[in-house]
Structure 1
Amino acid sequence: MLQSKKIGFIGSGAIAESLIGGIVKAGLIAPQQITVSDISQQRLDYMEEKLGVHGTLNIEELVKGVNILFLTVKPQVIHTVLDTIAPFVSPEILVVSVVAGVTTKVLQEKLPCVPIVRAMPNTPVAVGEGMSVITLGEYAGEENGKLVLTIFASVGKAIKMEESAMDAVTGLSGSGPGYAFVMIDALSDAGVWVGLSRKNAIIMAAQTLMGAAKMVLETGEHPAKLRDMVTSPGGTTIAGIHVLEQRGVRVALMDAVKAATRRSHEMGKKTDE
């Protein structure tokens, strides 16, 4: 599917590095078929040495030589980047944007008639366990969607949704790793409190959450059913769950997702202006 393609990345930050690493590791494409552009020559040298890709400071050169163009820059500079590349992006180039809060409508206004796919990956793509959601722009067909899903599936799981859900996606999976890190930190603190070493407590907390998540994904069972399977009458787990419910942990997590979703919407409105 990608063997004959040439891919370009504008921006060489952590997301770009993770995606390129995943694409190459999965054997979807050779590193020599990938070109990266950045304003930092030092960063480009790093990407060339680590990943074997070609680096260039010349955006025009990059755009004219690729079939798929990833926009992996900060939201603050996206309008400048779009103005720079617009004269060189033809309708034959598939544009994939991972720029947070920037809608396909905004992108389409700058790149008329160009197939655009917007994606929201989260930070665990760096370790091949990301959660990515894509949405198709006006001129992006189903084949474009399948192609982009294949790319993001190389660094975790990927699904397609309507763009109207993107703020909610940001609130749940985009910001979700932050919530998980807080829980791991809290559980490891608790482990230290009851007598475990810090090192062992962190390993146990992180592995426990990872294992629980894997059970949900691989069994397909509802989390409540899996919870009941580990909750014996009068046992330790129900005693702990009682405290979690008493302290409002469930409601706090729900409110966190709602707050992050609301903030994503607010940031998106500013970017659209």
Structure 2
Amino acid sequence: MRLGLIGAGNMAGALARGFGQPVAVFDVDRSRAEALAEAVGGQVLDSNIAVADASDAIVLCHKPAQLEEVAAEVGDHARAVISILGGTPVAAVEAAYPGRPVYRFMPSIPLEVGRGVVCYTPGRLAGQGPERKVLELFAAAGMLVELPEALFDAATAVMSCGPAFFALVAEALADAGVGYGLPADLAARMAVETMGGTAATLAEHDNDTRELRRRVTSPGGMTARGLAALERGRVRAAFEEAVAAVVEGRS
């Protein structure tokens, strides 16, 4: 299936790397489009229309505010539409691209390394046509989950914002280690490797976080003291507030 990216930002790059196949791409910032195309063996075209004409499905990777503008330009040329526009309901994309099969996807940055989660919801005209092949591409790139659109904001907080949250946790843990004498580079590598290893361990054991904590924590031991300090610091409440900020749009 031939995919065309309209926009070449960070998430477009993650998707293209996760797909593992050449894509057509256009971005008003040509240097950004060229960098993406070079990374994945894709092709930079001269316009959004050229991308649509060369593709079985276009992937909307531009800014959400540009939906109507881009649709007016390429709507008659698009065969199928894949939207990753944050906060943009599938109905809004369908209204901009009448008569076209539409899917709304919410990807995450780890797709660029073949991990992470992709949530999607199909539009009214998305059925058994060729555009469904895009589901196979997303499934190959990461964990694919069909969700009702009402749950997209909650899912976004966990799987799309989650990498930034986890990066902050790794940064804070490394900084704390530096405070007790670890070299900064070593502390950062330790924190990141431990986080990755923990994720892999959980995946091998049915994602049972409580059981992993039990295995690591000896009564009255060092880990127990550290966990108690995190609980006193309201770490759970902090994550609850972060998710609420994403879902409810408050900071």
TM-score (norm 1): 0.84
Q: What is the rounded CA distance, in whole Å, between the counterparts of 2:241 and 2:205 in structure 1?
A: 28
Q: Which amino acid in the other structure matches residue 189 of structure 2?
A: I
Q: Which runs of 5+ in 2 are unaligned?
A: none
Does structure 2 conserve the Cα–Cα contact (< 8 Å) formed by 1:149 and 1:159?
no
The corresponding residue for 1:11 is 7
TM-superposed deviation, 1:142: 6.1
Aligned equivalent of 1:37? 26
Q: Report if aligned partners of 1:95, 1:116 keep a CA contact under 8 Å in 2.
A: yes
1:85 to 68, 74, 81: 74
Fraction of identical pairs, as percent: 31
Give the Cα–Cα distance (whole angstroms) in 2 for the partners of residues 248 and 187 of structure 1.
16
* 1:124, distance to aligned residue in structure 2 (A): 2.2
Q: Letter of the 1:158 partner, please give it.
A: L
Aligned residue for 1:121?
A: 107
Instruction: State the alpha-carbon separation in 1 of the partners of residues 153 and 203 from structure 2.
Output: 23
* AA partner of residue 40 (structure 2): L
Change in Cα spacing, 1:130 to 1:144, as seen in structure 2 (3 Å) is farther
TM-superposed CA distance for 1:225, in Å, is 1.6
The amino acid that maps onto 2:248 is R
Matches of 1:226 and 1:52, distance apart in 2: 41
| CA shift for structure 1 position 85 | 1.5
Query: Does the CA contact (< 8 Å) of 2:16 and 2:112 recur in 1?
Result: no
CA distance in 1 between partners of 2:237 and 2:104 (Å): 31
Unpaired segments ≥5 residues, structure 1: 267-273
How many equivalent pairs are there? 251
The worse-fitting range, judged by mean Cα deviation, of 224-233 and 118-127 is 118-127
Amino acid at match of 1:10: I
Which amino acid is 1:103 matched to? P
Provide the aligned C-alpha RMSD in A: 2.2
Name 1:172's counterpart in structure 2. 158
* 8 A contact 2:126–2:132 mirrored in 1: no
Paired residue type of 1:62: V
Deviation at 1:50, TM superposition (A): 3.5
Please give the residue correspondences for 1:88-237 in structure 2 after superposition, counting only pairs within 5 Å: 88-89=77-78, 93-141=79-127, 147-237=133-223
**Cα distance, 1:47–1:179 mapped onto 2, change above 3 Å:** closer
